[in-house]
Amino acid sequence: MTTSTARRRGLAAAVGLLVVLGLLLVGLGALATTPPAPAATASPPVPSTPSTPSPAAGPRQDPASGPRPVGLAIPALGVDGPVNEVGLQPDGTLEVPAPGPRYDEAAWYRGSPTPGRVGPAVILGHVDSAANGPSVFYALGRLRPGDRLTVTLADRSTRTFAVDAVRSYPKDAFPRLDVYGDTAGPELRLITCGGDFDDAARSYRDNTVVFARLVT
């Protein structure tokens, strides 16, 4: 298996955690995610909820390489802050920003391409919490096509993306292929929770996804 194929499968499966967990903590409105396939696994894991099609492996996605993202600015929302990094937990599930000083900061999934490389770079963020109210991606759904997002990399260079679309999906019908599938050029996905809050499940019912493409 090539590194690109393995990484694509890990990235495509990552959406399950977004679909399954809803909130990371009881009482906290949080980003949700499902287990991505480990890099060395030849076939995707069986999710605990109805599955969505896994995209076929393809060549149009660069592995994560080069300087990692360290900052994200979204002028239309007044967001300008650090970007941390998340990976996989020992059980194969995707990490999300943990409670503590970095809970309200965005995080790049290092199993996705580095922003500016070919493929969909993925940045996650919480929507809110019961303790502190709105979080970094609270207003993500207000973005509109044409809005600009700037990612700062560790070498202090920047990559600017233009929003193409902002969409909301029920967590039990998350479109893996549209969100995580191969792209012809560098793109960016911003993902958080959205929709109504399910008191019984202690999570939001939907996911909000911003689709953006590199412009500079």
Q: Identify the pLDDT of residue 59.
A: 55
C-alpha–C-alpha distance, residues 16 and 20, integer Å: 6
- For the chain, the structural domain boundaries read 3-36+66-214
**10 alpha-carbon distance from chain centroid:** 13
Question: Are 36 and 11 in contact, with CB atoms under 8 Å apart?
Answer: yes
Per-residue pLDDT of the chain (216 residues; tens, 9 = 90+): 544 444 444 444 444 434 333 333 333 334 544 434 333 333 332 222 222 233 333 457 787 888 999 999 999 999 999 999 998 778 766 688 988 999 999 999 998 999 999 999 999 999 998 888 999 999 999 999 999 999 999 999 999 999 999 999 998 898 988 998 999 999 999 999 999 988 888 888 999 999 999 999
203-214 vs 186-198, strand pairing mode? antiparallel
Q: Give me the residues paired with residue 40 across strands.
A: none
Quote the pTM value: 0.74
C-alpha–C-alpha distance, residues 86 and 31, integer Å: 13
Dihedral sign of CA atoms 163, 164, 167, 171 in order:
negative
Per-residue tokens: 151: 């990612």
Question: Are 166 and 194 in contact, with CB atoms under 8 Å apart?
Answer: no
The top-level CATH class assigned to 3-36+66-214 is mainly beta
